[in-house]
């Protein structure tokens, strides 16, 4: 597919990393459901193990179907390569564990998915990795939090729960001044809305469970490297720049100037932690990615209609969407997210927990569950579910009110979604507080 | 491995094994805005199959100090001095693209020191379009995108390089950007494509080559189309190996390129 530049986003979403199967002519990507791959002979086997040749050995380490997904997401992000993992959580852990060990330190945004916060605040601490949390908009705070043992900075493109837009250009500049990479969770935005590498991020991961898959069918993650971070010059990453006894004394930065991180992550992290993706899952995510541009455009279009409806409704106290002028990240969103701010957002009902529950239970199209990024519209009431143990004061500290509702706008007719919300708001209004 | 050449530090990748000058030596010379890592698989195979490997970072590339050398002739002299620094009396020279011109010129300057010459992704003359040179001057980042797109025949090179999951276009773009950004002396992209374009010593060099020569050419190479190597191959009485790839055949078709290199070295 030669040209004077790479193909466009929509073409890459359909073709990057895949050609018709040379063995069968199959046009769609085959699902290689096999644990392992036959060696041509002993010399071939030895050369694969010793990285004298490229190829597949065992599906925990690599698999042809997964490789298509990895190349495709890397192409869409503008990265050098990627690794598919069992979940988004596995991708985050793989990124951190490749760079950090006991005695290391991470600087992370306070505006994180709860699962990411749990990993950093509780679990990694048990393994000797400390995290300092910084409000995403506190640029000086990011700089001040860096220590000599810091290994990376981490935030979300659209932070949870308030959709704070991460100032990637500023935070990455601070990271690079200190010789550190910036890792970004880009799940809510996907590369269709923003390519973090273009703004200075060095590593990106996705919960592919969400918009990349898009159909609520599988759990998966993808970790992508820009290939641009200079691990040698940084001097902070002996894991990549000094011999690794666990793989023939390999110095990963010597073997690949732009792929050192991914080599270590695959040859240590996937090998030893084992959180690999099933090829069947990779195939389903590939199916989703084929229509990612179409779906994201529709997600954003419908979300704007729903946001406009809610913002004008008497029962709604606040809508937290960065395209609205009152949102704290409005200016940043205009600069970094010109195509839109995704389809997950929260709004506050003027009402009690009981009214919030009544609203949820009155919805007919929105599904009440703990997920986002599905083609079906989703809803959750944090005060009665994910945060039900908290009293109102604790909820307030977390930026949540008793009436806070989180929506994930799907691909149904926007008018139907608005009708559903209108009906449920009426029910909430008639419910005793 | 670190060497000192012309009082400057040079980084040389030895294929994952310590360099042994007593073994038959293979020297790999990369092309414009690349570094030693474009050779990883081939270099590792050679190092683990009885060769001493020197995959160099040319001056102002990767781990080697600048400044860049002014032309192909100076780079050829530099390469011969590198052999001296490594204690190598004779070696097979393997060059890719700009590196193929350097290897050809070095062979001509010291024919007795070169046992075999392998020219990959080569052409002579290696003319560069005025449009690309102008873009390289005005907007090297755009020029990198253009050259990356032209350097691959597909957007699905398998089994990828140096291992599965790497996006070849993105890897090449990142490598070229890093080389460009790492050179503070001049616009490295424009300089290197210019010295390829300006090199006119090819005919004289071909007359002096005494060793067996092989050309490994990508059938779908848009940067140096195979037909532009035909006069060169004929003059050198080279064995021609065509591989199913574009210009960057080492990453796009690593197995076919290895098979061709094995044939060229034996």
| Cβ pair A15:B156 closer than 8 A | yes
Check A5 against B145: CB less than 8 A apart: yes
Q: Pick from A369, A347, A368, A371: which is nearest to A425 by CA? A: A347
A323: pLDDT confidence band, cut at 50, 70 and 90?
A: very high
Q: Which residues of B touch A85 (CB under 8 A)?
A: none
Note whether A298 and A275 are same-domain residues: no
What is the percent of chain A with per-residue pLDDT over 90, rounded to a whole number?
89
CB contact under 8 A, A71 and B145: no
Task: Answer whether B165 sits within 8 Å of A84, measured CB to CB.
Answer: yes
Size of interface A-B (CB pairs under 8 A): 164
Average pLDDT over residues A396-415: 90
Q: What is the pTM of this model?
A: 0.97
Asked whether residue A275 falls in the same domain as residue A150, the answer is yes
- Asked if A250 and A345 sit in the same domain, the reply is no
**DSSP labels for A90-142?**
HHHHHHHHHH--TT-EEEEESS--HHHHHIIIIIHHHTT-EEEEE-TT-HHHH
Nearest CA in chain A to B40: A255
Same domain, A160 and A48: yes
Which residues of chain A have a CB within 8 Å of the CB of B19? none
Whole-angstrom Cα distance, residue A383 to residue A391?
9
Among residues A231, A257, A289, the one where a domain terminates is A289
pLDDT value of position A386: 75
The reply to whether residue A5 touches residue B149, judged by beta carbons under 8 angstroms, is yes
Q: Pick the last residue of a domain from A289, A313, A338.
A: A289
Q: How confident is the model at residue A382 (pLDDT cuts 50, 70, 90)?
A: confident
* Domain shared by A227 and A316, yes or no: no
Span A29-50, mean pLDDT? 96
The reply to whether residue B166 touches residue A66, judged by beta carbons under 8 angstroms, is no
Once rounded to an integer, what is the mean pLDDT over residues B23-37?
98
Neighbours of A31 (CB within 10 A): 17
Residue B174 clears pLDDT 70, i.e. is over it: yes
Around B58, how many Cα atoms within 13 Å sit in the side-chain half-sphere?
Answer: 29
**What mean pLDDT comes out for the span B27-56?**
98
Judging contacts by C-beta atoms under 8 Å, the chain B residues touching residue A10 are none
Q: What is the pLDDT of residue A427?
A: 96
A138-152: pLDDT as tens digits = 999 999 999 999 999
pLDDT band at A260 (very low <50, low <70, confident <90, very high): very high
Distance linking the first and last C-alpha atoms of chain B: 26
For residues A259 and A315, state if they share a domain: no
Helix (H) or strand (E) holding A417: helix A414-430
Second CATH level (architecture) for the domain B2-265: 3-Layer(aba) Sandwich (3.40)
> Hey, CA dihedral for A243, B14, B84, B193, is it positive or negative?
negative
Contacts of B220 in chain A (CB under 8 A): 2
* Residues A277 and A299 reside in one and the same domain: no
Domain of A245, CATH number, reads 3.40.640.10
- Nearest-neighbour CA in chain B from A30: distance (Å): 14
Q: Report CB contact under 8 Å: A228, B177.
A: yes
Chain A interface, mutation test: which of B64, B163, B250, most A Cβ atoms within 10 Å?
Answer: B163
* Residues A311, A244 share a domain: no
Contacts of B40 in chain A (CB under 8 A): 51, 255-256
Contact yes or no for A15 and B160 at CB 8 A: no
Predicted confidence band at A3 (pLDDT cuts at 50, 70, 90)?
low
Going across the sheet that includes B25-29, the strands are: B2-5, B8-13, B52-56, B25-29, B91-96, B114-120, B213-218, B239-243
Same domain, A246 and A262: yes
- Put simply, the answer to whether B165 touches A250 (Cβ < 8 Å) is no
Q: Is there a contact between B149 and A51 if contact means CB atoms under 8 Å apart?
A: no
Beta bridge partners of A183: A154, A203
- Helix (H) / strand (E) containing B261: helix B254-265
For B136-166, write each residue's pLDDT tens digit. 999 999 999 999 999 999 999 999 999 999 9
Is A256 in contact with B16 (Cβ distance < 8 A)?
A: no
The helix (run of H) or strand (run of E) holding residue A380 is strand A378-380
In tens, the pLDDT along A261-296 reads 999 999 999 999 999 999 999 999 999 999 999 999
Closest-CA residue in chain A for B180?
A228
Distance CA A307, CA B180 (A): 45
Nearest CB to B156 within list A4, A19, A66 = A19
**Total tally of structural domains belonging to chain A:** 2
- Is residue A330 in a domain? yes
Contacts of B45 in chain A (CB under 8 A): 47, 52-53
Say if residue A144 is in the same domain as residue A269: yes
Q: Please indicate, yes or no, if residue A1 is contained in any of the structural domains.
A: no
Q: Looking at A228, A262, A289, which one is the last position of a domain?
A: A289
Instruction: Compute the mean pLDDT over every residue in chain A, rounded to the nearest whole number.
Output: 95
Q: Does the beta-carbon distance from B155 to A232 stay under 8 Å?
A: no
Whether A206 and A81 map to the same domain: the answer is yes
Mutate to test the interface with B, among A71, A75, A82 (most CBs of B within 10 A): A71
Residues A86/A69, Cβ–Cβ less than 8 Å: no
Question: Taking 70 as the threshold, does the pLDDT of residue A1 lie above it?
Answer: no
CA distances from B58 to A230, B9, B173, B188 (A): 18, 10, 18, 12
In the block, residue with structure tokens 């080389």: B179
Contact state of A255 with B149 under an 8 Å Cβ cutoff = no
Q: If you measure CA to CA, which chain B residue comes closest to A29?
A: B156
> Residue B131 pLDDT > 90, yes or no?
yes
Residue A390, pLDDT above cutoff 80: no
* B158, B159, B162 ranked by CB distance to A51: nearest: B162
Chain B residue nearest residue A74, CA to CA: B167
In angstroms, the separation between the Cα of residue A90 and the nearest Cα of chain B is: 17
Secondary structure string (H, E, C) spanning A237-306: CHHHHCCEHHHCCECHHHHCCCCHHHHHHHHHHHHHHCCECCHHHHHHHHHHHHCHHHHHHHHHHHHHHH
Give residue A272's domain range. 9-289
- Regarding whether A296 and A234 lie in a shared domain, the answer is no
Question: Is B166 in Cβ contact with A74 (below 8 Å)?
Answer: yes
Contact A85, A220 (CB under 8 A): yes
**Which of chain A's residues have a Cβ under 8 Å away from the Cβ of B48?**
47, 50, 52
Looking at the domain assignment, is residue A264 inside a domain? yes
Query: Which residue does chain A place closest to B34, by CA atoms?
Result: A257
Q: Inspect the interface and report whether the beta carbons of B170 and A56 lie closer than 8 Å.
A: no
Long-range contacts of B128-134 (CB under 8 A, 24+ apart): B128/B193, B128/B194, B128/B196, B128/B197, B132/B193, B133/B190, B133/B193, B133/B194, B133/B197
- Which tens digit of pLDDT belongs to each residue from B102-121? 999 999 999 999 999 999 99
How far is it, in rounded angstroms, from Cα B26 to Cα B54?
6
Q: What is the mean pLDDT of residues A63-81?
A: 98
A190 CB burial (10 A radius; 0-12, 13-18, 19+): buried
């Amino acid at each position: 597919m030669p040209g004077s530049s790479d193909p466009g986003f929509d073409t890459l979403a359909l073709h990057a990393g895949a050609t018709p199967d040379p063995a069968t002519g199959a046009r769609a990507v085959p699902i290689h459901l096999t644990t392992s791959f036959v060696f041509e002979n002993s010399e071939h086997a030895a050369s694969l193990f010793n990285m004298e040749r490229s190829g597949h050995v065992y599906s925990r380490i690599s698999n042809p179907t997964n490789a298509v997904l990895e190349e495709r997401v890397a192409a869409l992000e503008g990265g050098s390569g990627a690794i598919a993992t069992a979940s988004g959580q596995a991708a985050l852990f793989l990124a951190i564990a490749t760079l950090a060990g006991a005695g290391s330190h991470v600087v992370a945004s306070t505006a994180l998915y709860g699962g990411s916060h749990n990993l950093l605040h509780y679990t990694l601490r048990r393994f000797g990795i400390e995290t300092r949390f910084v409000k995403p908009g506190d640029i000086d705070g990011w700089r001040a939090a860096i220590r000599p043992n810091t290994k990376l900075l981490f935030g979300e493109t659209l932070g949870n729960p308030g959709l704070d837009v991460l100032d990637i250009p500023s935070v990455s500049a601070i990271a690079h001044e200190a010789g550190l990479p910036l890792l970004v969770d880009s799940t809510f935005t996907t590369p269709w809305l923003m390519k973090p590498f273009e703004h200075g991020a060095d590593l990106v991961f996705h919960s592919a469970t969400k918009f990349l898959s898009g159909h609520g069918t599988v759990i998966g993650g993808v970790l992508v490297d820009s290939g641009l971070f200079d691990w040698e010059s940084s001097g902070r990453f002996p894991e990549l720049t000094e011999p690794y006894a666990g793989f023939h004394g390999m110095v990963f930065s010597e073997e690949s100037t732009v792929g050192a991180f991914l080599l270590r992550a695959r040859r240590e992290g996937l090998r030893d932690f084992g959180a690999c993706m099933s090829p069947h899952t990779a195939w389903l995510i590939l199916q989703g990615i084929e229509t990612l541009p179409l779906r994201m455009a529709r997600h954003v279009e419908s979300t704007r209609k729903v946001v406009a409806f809610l913002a004008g409704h008497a029962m709604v106290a606040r809508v937290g969407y960065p395209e609205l002028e009152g949102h704290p990240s409005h200016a940043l969103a205009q600069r970094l997210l010109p195509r839109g701010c995704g389809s997950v957002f929260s709004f506050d009902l003027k009402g009690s927990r009981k009214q919030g529950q009544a609203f949820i239970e009155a919805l007919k199209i929105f599904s009440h569950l703990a997920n986002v990024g599905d083609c079906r519209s989703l809803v959750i009431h944090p005060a009665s579910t994910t945060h039900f143990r908290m009293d109102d004061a604790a909820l307030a500290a977390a930026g949540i009110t008793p009436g806070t509702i989180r929506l994930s706008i799907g691909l149904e007719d926007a008018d139907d979604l608005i009708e559903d919300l209108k009906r449920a708001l009426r029910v909430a209004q008639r419910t005793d507080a | 491995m670190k060497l000192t050449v012309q009082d400057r530090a040079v980084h040389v990748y030895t294929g994952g094994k310590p360099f042994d000058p007593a073994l038959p030596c293979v020297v790999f010379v990369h092309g414009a805005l690349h570094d030693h890592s474009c050779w990883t698989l081939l270099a590792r195979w050679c190092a683990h199959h009885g060769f001493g490997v020197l995959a160099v970072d040319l001056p102002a590339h990767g781990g080697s100090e600048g400044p860049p050398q002014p032309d192909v002739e100076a780079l050829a002299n530099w390469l011969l001095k590198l052999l001296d620094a490594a204690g190598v009396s004779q070696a097979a020279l393997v060059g890719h693209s700009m590196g193929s011109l350097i290897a050809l010129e070095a062979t001509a300057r010291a024919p007795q020191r070169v046992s075999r010459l392998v020219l990959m992704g080569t052409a002579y003359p290696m003319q560069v379009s005025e449009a690309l040179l102008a873009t390289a001057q005005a907007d090297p980042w755009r020029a990198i995108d253009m050259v990356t797109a032209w350097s691959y025949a597909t957007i699905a090179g398998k089994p990828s390089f140096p291992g599965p999951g790497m996006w070849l276009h993105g890897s090449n773009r990142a490598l070229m950007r890093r080389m460009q950004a790492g050179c503070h002396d001049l616009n490295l992209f424009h300089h290197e494509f210019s010295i390829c374009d300006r090199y006119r010593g090819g005919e004289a060099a071909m007359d002096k080559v005494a060793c067996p020569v092989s050309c490994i050419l990508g059938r779908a190479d848009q940067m140096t189309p195979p037909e532009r190597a035909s006069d060169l191959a004929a003059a050198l009485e080279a064995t021609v190996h065509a591989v199913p790839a574009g210009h960057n055949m080492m990453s796009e078709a690593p197995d076919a390129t290895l098979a061709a290199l094995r044939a060229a070295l034996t």
